[in-house]
Chains A and B, each alone.
Chain A
């Protein structure tokens, strides 16, 4: 049915607080991806999930960032002890697995705009 949804759409927090960002992928999509878009850094890959496992966590900027996915569906990106440099739009995408025939389109959600004061 619906596309990728993310919540909240906007989040303002104070430096040092923890935040949780949620992503609901398209139903049936096995793969889920997190990216960050900021003025200074452009679009950065953070992490992706194949089912509930994350083969590549190399994009997480620091150990303050973590992500999990349960039930092969919803994913949560958690940022602990937020810093001002964490301010960005966090984008989630989902796709089916590219088992054969080349890559599958990553469908992007609208993003969560995070502002750390």
Chain B
């Protein structure tokens, strides 16, 4: 069964500093990996996704993530955070189409990011 672990429940970062959010997954085959962001009172928005090819993927809002198969990780990074990046971030893993469970995203518990001035 697939699973996702986000080790950090809460991270505080200064505006302008770099940010790295950790994600470890467990999945038997090549996973589909995602990062979503949820701002207060907002829905979930996709930041980026990985399914094959280049292990460094670029997303929206200046975010990037690196897939490391040997470490079963898909960490999210941003070189310089803005106050508007304060939100909750979710890593998710999905199965390949057309397996029976392709539509099921397994989410991590989320990491709350607080940005200080």
Interface of A toward B, CB cutoff 8 Å? 31, 33, 35, 42-45, 48-50, 55-56, 58-59, 91, 93, 97-99, 102-103, 105-106, 108-111
Beta-carbon contact of A103 and B34 below 8 Å: yes
> Could you jot down 23 A-B contacts, CB within 8 Å?
A33-B103, A33-B105, A42-B107, A42-B108, A42-B110, A44-B107, A45-B107, A50-B103, A58-B104, A91-B43, A91-B44, A98-B102, A99-B97, A102-B51, A103-B32, A103-B34, A105-B49, A106-B105, A108-B44, A108-B45, A109-B43, A110-B42, A110-B43
Q: Are A43 and B101 in contact (CB under 8 A)?
A: no
Measuring CB to CB, which residues of chain B are less than 8 angstroms from any residue of chain A? 32, 34, 42-46, 49, 51-52, 90, 92, 94, 97, 100-110
Q: How far is the CB of A52 from chain B (nearest CB, A)?
A: 14
Check if B104 sits within 8 Å of A105, measured CB to CB: no
Chain A residues with CB below 8 A from B106, complex form: 45
